[in-house]
Amino acid sequence: MKKNLETICIHGGWKAAKGEPQQLPIYQSTTFRYETSDQMARLFDLKDNGYFYTRLANPTNDAVAKKIAALEGGVGAVLTSSGQAANFYAIFNICQAGDHLITSNNIYGGTFNLFGVTLKKLGIECTFVDPDWDDERIEAAFRPNTKCFFGETISNPGGRIFDIERFARLAHSHGVPLIVDNTFATPINCRPFEWGADIVTHSTTKYMDGHATQVGGCVVDSGNFDWEAQHDKFTCLTEPDESYHGLTYTTSFDKMAYITKMVVQLMRDLGSIPAPQNCFLLNLGLETLALRMRQHCANALKVARWLEQNDKVGWVNYASLPSSRDHALAEKYLPNGTCGVIAFGLKGSREEAIRFMDNLDFISIVTHVADARTCVLHPASHTHRQLTDEQLREAGISPDLVRLSVGIENVDDIIADLQQAMDKM
Ligand code: PLP
């Protein structure tokens, strides 16, 4: 039976059989027992399916991965120990030394570093493009060794909206997949596969968990990208893998080629699996994701409108506001709401922004974002404090930018807290 997203949030991934626990059990075990040596050998030869070691697969983790794959409309998913690991795995599964990727420059700072600094050390080059550039200028970034294009549905911290359909078209016309980090939108508000994206990543640490209880990530494959049509570009999937019984992922696993390779090769060699206990916590968060996203969006829209009217506020960027330059894109890709994260600037100096934050009552100053509690961050004073004002602007972050992550408390209380903090500025 085809199910709607709210139902998948509750029932996806785990169905209790007769006498089994109604709630997803935590299989907190590194390993799984077999009765004969032959039974175990058959698992290693991939002749039988079964669990043998949690670094490769675990029933709790698998159930949660299946739920997220169903929410995104993908064929399979892999959970990772962080969002950083998810983005690294998504790229490293198809890129190696000598390869190149292109990314929107409107992305999370941690991903910016991962792509620009750490991948470079591994011999993978990255070109950052401004998504506001015209097609011709973007096309010029593609090279023969380009393996993928990357962007964030809603960028962190700027709140820019990524034109998924446009970048899917550009990526596909150069024979490469589009990878979209869908962390802030979540599949409740946007399903990038429906717009042509091929692979989706998440920091599940954010709305999916929603309660700041675990750090995690996820990579989901749509199964739509035709690796064989680009046989010579993606030999990592289309030619035998000597490190895994000489099997060829596309031949043996068809639409599950990309995800299977990620598990049997990257997880085997690099690890980065989440603990089953953390997957259980993530699953609890997922159960209420649809409800919470609705409330985050309703609250944030009200707060954004209030900020827009406030004479201490210089500017507000929240794509659901008609005044946002990305409003048309938000209407197209996120018609039911964007997310709870608002970027705004206070009139005055950096010090004013600091005074405002120090005066807040229950709204907390944390580096975290996108969960039930309203929180605030000033990138120039916190995550990006090593940068000068000029360097901040180059990274697309104005020195006065305050990132407000609107939670699901009563919105009148959120506004009252912001008001009293501004009154003391
Ligand atoms: N992607 C986005 C859009 C993020 O906002 C973050 C973290 O803030 C990450 C990835 C990295 O996720 P994690 O902190 O779970 O490693």
Among 102, 243, 246, 259, residue whose Cα is nearest residue 173: 102
pLDDT digit string (tens) for 14-48? 999 999 999 999 999 999 999 999 999 998 877 88
Instruction: Measure the CA–CA gap between 110 and 155, rounded to whole angstroms.
Output: 12
The atom number, within ligand 1, closest to the CA of 217 reads 15
The percentage of the chain sitting over the pLDDT mark of 70, rounded to a whole number, equals: 99
State yes or no: pLDDT of 396 exceeds 80: no
- Choice from 113, 182, 206 to test ligand 1 binding pocket (greatest atom count within 8 A of CB): 206
- What phi and psi values does residue 320 have, to the nearest 5 degrees? -75, -10
The atom number, within ligand 1, closest to the CA of 155 reads 3
Tell me which residue has tokens 């008609």. 322
Residue 209 beta carbon below 6 angstroms from any ligand 1 atom: no
CATH 3.40.640.10 residue ranges for the chain: 5-284
Q: Cα 85 to chain center, whole Å?
A: 11
Strands 375-377 and 76-80: unpaired
Can you give the pLDDT at residue 236? 98
Residue 215 beta carbon below 6 angstroms from any ligand 1 atom: yes
CATH 3.90.1150.10 residue ranges for the chain: 291-423
3-state helix, strand, coil in the chain (%, to 5): 40, 15, 45
- Choice from 111, 150, 200, 384 to test ligand 1 binding pocket (greatest atom count within 8 A of CB): 111
Can you give the pLDDT at residue 245? 83
Split at pLDDT 50, 70, 90, the class of 394 is: low
- Hey, what CATH topology would domain 5-284 get? Aspartate Aminotransferase; domain 2 (3.40.640)
Q: Which two tokens stand for residue 370?
A: 């996108």
Split at pLDDT 50, 70, 90, the class of 379 is: confident
Strands 146-152 and 199-203: unpaired
Pick the CATH number of 291-423 from 3.30.360.10, 3.40.720.10, 3.90.1150.10, 3.90.1200.10: 3.90.1150.10
Can you give the pLDDT at residue 397? 77
Can you give the pLDDT at residue 248? 97
- Choice from 79, 81, 82, 84 to test ligand 1 binding pocket (greatest atom count within 8 A of CB): 84
Pick from 140-154, 212-226, 318-332, 338-352: least confident: 338-352
Can you give the pLDDT at residue 350? 79
As a whole number, mean pLDDT of residues 111-118 equals: 94
Whole-Å CA distances, 364 to 115, 338, 405: 30, 22, 10
Among 77, 208, 213, 105, residue whose Cα is nearest residue 162: 105
As a whole number, mean pLDDT of residues 307-323 equals: 96
Sheet harboring 125-129: ordered strands across?
A: 76-80, 217-221, 199-203, 178-181, 146-152, 100-104, 125-129
